[in-house]
Amino acid sequence: MFGFINIYKPKGITSHDVISVLRRITKIKQIGHTGTLDPFAEGVLPVCIGKATRLIEFLNDDKAYIGTVQLGKSTTTYDIEGEEVNRSDKAVNIDQIKKELENFKGDIEQLPPVYSAIKVKGKKLYEYARKGETVEIAPRRVSINKLEVLNYDPEKRTLELYIDCSKGTYIRSIANDLGEKLGTYGHLSKLVRVKAGDFIIDDAVRLENLNSIDDVKKNLINTLEKLKYPMAELNEKEKNKVSHGMDIYKNTPNEGVVILVYNNELAAVAKTDGTTVRCLKVFV
């Protein structure tokens, strides 16, 4: 079995739990996801099955989320699972919120949460945090492509945001930092990933609907559907060379990464200068 599957990860389980379920159903160990979701978050989790795990680096990795920010309180983890740190009764209006949100658009420097899996000196940040140890955290450059208010309830002080961003962006940090800029504190109370690369939430299959290997096969996505690079069709002779990892000489529609196809199936991911094609990953 070889391909992608677009899973809707439910709230309350880890991304690794999803992988474990699929391994149990399919009896395939070579399964991986393209980007973890926190246990309290839900939504799109693209999963690669079999040799498709070798394609993760070639998939579009921008993400989109709908996040709910609860203003008035900050927490240690920047979300609902942490302990309260600060509280404020300060009221803010929608115009103030939109003005501050402008500071988060485009390329920005973001400090990851202290409770995160980023490694510093060989240890994950949350390991330091759990022991009460402090460590210097370097800001990371991320891109916020789109950030807009979907809804704001001034009485409940809940703010719903749509965020389209680069890989590695912490929505929890946006919630915390926005609350600080507004002077009212804030934390992330809900998070739904609605897009991961070219996988969207409307096409995602619920984990509870995958109970057999036939269910998995029925929802398996051909890798060619999600590899957004120019493609070149191979003849029999070229396919045989590629299957042995040999270079081929072929006019291609581009320079750089090209997808080699044989009989409507993925044969290889390659790199080309326009004529010489050198295989990077072979699948035949």
Tens of pLDDT, residue by residue over 107-140, are: 999 877 765 555 655 655 556 556 565 666 677 8
* pLDDT (0 to 100) of residue 115: 57
212 has pLDDT over 70: yes
* pLDDT (0 to 100) of residue 132: 61
Measure the CA–CA gap between 19 and 113, rounded to whole angstroms: 25
In the chain the domains, ranked by start, together with CATH numbers, are: 3-60+198-224 (3.30.2350.10), 63-195 (3.30.2350.10), 229-282 (2.30.130.10)
Average pLDDT over residues 199-207: 96
* pLDDT (0 to 100) of residue 88: 95
pLDDT tier for residue 1 given thresholds of 50, 70 and 90: confident
**CB neighbours of 214 closer than 8 A, spacing ≥ 6?**
none
| Cross-strand bridge partners of residue 64 | 164, 195
Tens of pLDDT, residue by residue over 32-86, are: 999 888 888 999 999 999 999 999 999 998 999 999 999 999 998 899 988 899 9
- Residue 176's φ and ψ, nearest 5 degrees, are -65, -45
* pLDDT (0 to 100) of residue 274: 83
* pLDDT (0 to 100) of residue 53: 96
Active site residue 153: no
**Which of 38-52, 93-107, 201-215, 239-253 is least confident?**
239-253
Average pLDDT over residues 252-266: 90
Average pLDDT over residues 199-212: 95
Catalytic residue among 38, 95, 215, 273: 38
Measure the CA–CA gap between 16 and 3, rounded to whole angstroms: 18
pLDDT tier for residue 253 given thresholds of 50, 70 and 90: confident
9 has pLDDT over 80: yes
* Mean of the per-residue pLDDT values of the chain: 90
Average pLDDT over residues 13-17: 91
Tens of pLDDT, residue by residue over 138-192, are: 778 999 999 999 999 999 999 999 999 998 898 999 999 999 999 999 999 999 9
